[in-house]
Structure 1
Amino acid sequence: MLQVRYSTSPSTAETATTTQLREAYLVEDLFRDGEVNGVYTHDDRLLVAGAVPAAGELALPSWPKVLGVETHLARRELGVVNVGGPGEVVVDGEPYRLEHLDGLFVGRGSDVTFSGTGAAFYLVSAPAHATFPTTLIPRASVTPVDLGSPEAANERRLYRYVWGQEVQSAALQIGMTVIAPGSVWNTFPPHLHDRRTEVYLYLDLAADDRVLHVMGRPGATRHLVVADRQAVISPPWSVHSGAGTGSYAFVWAMAGENTTYTDLAPVAVEEL
């Protein structure tokens, strides 16, 4: 199943009810056994999905009524992160084994299938103007960037999988941030990516834990209460920050006008 979300304005978010905010920006129920479920947003034409093969094999759906082509990656590229147990992704007949939190970049034009009992693949695809090589990105091969401090309750490790350096892409950027035990903030103070949409998939939360995801324009922020394996669509006009009630991580993915990773605008605390 593929759900379509339309772009929204900042003023819409400022006056929305909690239910309306969740319907517009929160992505739930991506991961169901034996299914591929997705959400297509008109913000930078990003598509996010969850593929849970269970005991079988799943193909990457084409969703032609939305994408307008016969194969999903005819005009797109794909990022994959395995948020479950070990599994396998086959790209044009070549198998790639992904352990928990390993990544895979798949270039435009490929055919993709998924398998692995216990595996749960998070998928993000974006329009691509060029084709770049399919590349396996084991988490253990990525040198993390240490950020924050225990004193500020925002100590965390940033893993950059596809960000315009070692692995090339046309538009997609994807990586992961892991919050250190005892810290709660994932980014604070927040910032804006005015030329890119970003989607966050929160994961590895305990059943009773939640993340309070802060969104909206500076000076008019709102929040979403997010559970494990739920995602948030963050439009280019929205800040992003959040705090959790327990240990967690999140996969971030971006696409938009450019792929300069440092293209962002800090937001001072007093602006909030």
Structure 2
Amino acid sequence: MSADHTHTVPPESRSHLPAGSARSGPYALRIDPARAGWAHAALRVLELPPGGTHSLDTGDCEWIVLPLSGGCTVHAEGEFFELRGREGVFGGATDFAYLPRDSHAQIASGAGGRFALAGAKCERRLPARYGPAPEVPVELRGSGGCSRQVNNFAAAGVFDCDRLIAVEVITPGGNWSSYPPHKHDEHVPGVESELEEIYYFEIDRGGTGFHQVSPSRPGGTELLVEVGGGDAVLVPDGWHGPSIAAPGRDMYYLNVMAGPGPREWLIRDHPDHGWIRDTWPDQPMDPRLPLRPGSRSDAPRHPRPAEEQG
């Protein structure tokens, strides 16, 4: 694929980007708004070799540097942030750094690693900041076969951004997440947000899982796809979910969202499937969660439907 990120993805491949299909320069994955064919959400996965460095001009986007594996340093706006990172995405929440629009940053890694750059076109220019791993709220969501873990590092109301909303979801092998199917493709005050969304997947021990998007309007997004590590799915509209982890293969995905309206996370459940929430209080949480010792689970286990995601 061309490194010219002004080119848009062909319509037939716009929704599912298999690993390597959106590689560009140092990025194993590069999804900018123009390439996605929408207006706000962006995601890049930066690969750095030992001793590697990368210069980033943020342009008209705000960005969060989120270690996927390994640690790095981030120098921006006269600030120096040391991100300890983690061994991998199944190793618990990580620290991160926020970069404002219209700035320049230098990212360096002594040991090398992989780093997600979650971004969104924005208007306000907020200060560069450090997000400590111990302050990331870790939420256990759903129950039974719908149990999953959510690392709410940049959820609305948790960490201040202008447009960007981003969380990590860990689904134990055999479970369903992003379930019931839900949507956020129109602005209905107090009911639903209009948010573009990117799913970036990694699967434990090289396995695969499945992800579905079904139309919420005539001609809308429709997709049922096998996903593996490094794959991305773009959700401009539609009922998205479930994301299904194969037995014995834990699933990770990073959700990056942004839209034109207020920075809110409001969703509507698919009318044929929303009833599943009523069964959750009568089922135990999957005992495998939290997946790694030391994660914080102090957020509500059964949030109101309008707050549900992932």
Q: Which category describes the TM-score, using the shorter chain as reference length?
A: 0.7 to 0.9
- Given that 1:154 and 1:183 are in contact with CA atoms closer than 8 Å, whether structure 2 keeps it comes out as no
SS of residue matched to 1:133 = coil
Match of 2:115 among 99, 118, 121: 121
Match of 1:193 among 176, 184, 188: 184
| Cα pair distance change 1:183/1:143, threshold 3 Å | farther
Listed as ranges, the matches of 1:243-258 within 5 Å are 243-245=244-246, 246-258=249-261
The residue aligned with 1:82 is: 67
Return the alpha-carbon distance in structure 2 between the equivalents of residues 2 and 200 of structure 1: 22
Instruction: Give how far 1:6 is off.
Output: 5.3
State how many pairs are aligned: 243
Instruction: Give how far 1:238 is off.
Output: 4.3
- Given that 2:15 and 2:223 are in contact with CA atoms closer than 8 Å, whether structure 1 keeps it comes out as no
The residue aligned with 2:204 is: 205
- Given that 1:190 and 1:267 are in contact with CA atoms closer than 8 Å, whether structure 2 keeps it comes out as yes
The residue aligned with 1:266 is: 269
- Given that 1:173 and 1:259 are in contact with CA atoms closer than 8 Å, whether structure 2 keeps it comes out as no
The residue aligned with 1:149 is: 143
The residue aligned with 1:67 is: none
- Given that 1:155 and 1:183 are in contact with CA atoms closer than 8 Å, whether structure 2 keeps it comes out as no
Instruction: Output the TM-score relative to the length of structure 1.
Output: 0.79
Which structure has more relative contact order (CA 8 Å, sep 6+)? It is 2
1:204-261 CA-to-partner distances (Å, cap 9, x unmatched) read 5321x11201012159953121111221111123423310111122111100022443
Match of 1:53 among 33, 48, 72: 48
The residue aligned with 1:42 is: 37
Return the alpha-carbon distance in structure 2 between the equivalents of residues 119 and 33 of structure 1: 17
The answer as to 2:243 corresponding to 1:242 is: yes
- Given that 1:212 and 1:224 are in contact with CA atoms closer than 8 Å, whether structure 2 keeps it comes out as yes
- Given that 2:119 and 2:256 are in contact with CA atoms closer than 8 Å, whether structure 1 keeps it comes out as no
CA RMSD, 1 decimal: 2.7
Return the alpha-carbon distance in structure 2 between the equivalents of residues 30 and 93 of structure 1: 36
Return the alpha-carbon distance in structure 2 between the equivalents of residues 6 and 227 of structure 1: 20
- Given that 2:121 and 2:163 are in contact with CA atoms closer than 8 Å, whether structure 1 keeps it comes out as yes
Return the alpha-carbon distance in structure 2 between the equivalents of residues 30 and 167 of structure 1: 31
Return the alpha-carbon distance in structure 2 between the equivalents of residues 143 and 266 of structure 1: 24
| Cα pair distance change 1:75/1:199, threshold 3 Å | same
Moved more, 248-257 or 159-168: 159-168
The residue aligned with 2:278 is: none
| Cα pair distance change 1:29/1:139, threshold 3 Å | farther
SS of residue matched to 2:134 = helix
Instruction: State percent identity of aligned pairs.
Output: 18
The residue aligned with 2:100 is: 107
Look up the equivalent residue of 1:223 and give its one-letter code.
Answer: L
1:106-163 CA-to-partner distances (Å, cap 9, x unmatched) read 112221122213321111221111111222223332121211113xx12112122223
Look up the equivalent residue of 1:57 and give its one-letter code.
Answer: T
1:16-54 CA-to-partner distances (Å, cap 9, x unmatched) read xxxx3xx21223328979813512222233222111121
Structure 1 stretches of 5 or more lacking a match?
Answer: 9-19, 61-71
The answer as to 2:127 corresponding to 1:136 is: no
Look up the equivalent residue of 1:211 and give its one-letter code.
Answer: G
Instruction: Output the TM-score relative to the length of structure 2.
Output: 0.70
Look up the equivalent residue of 1:76 and give its one-letter code.
Answer: C
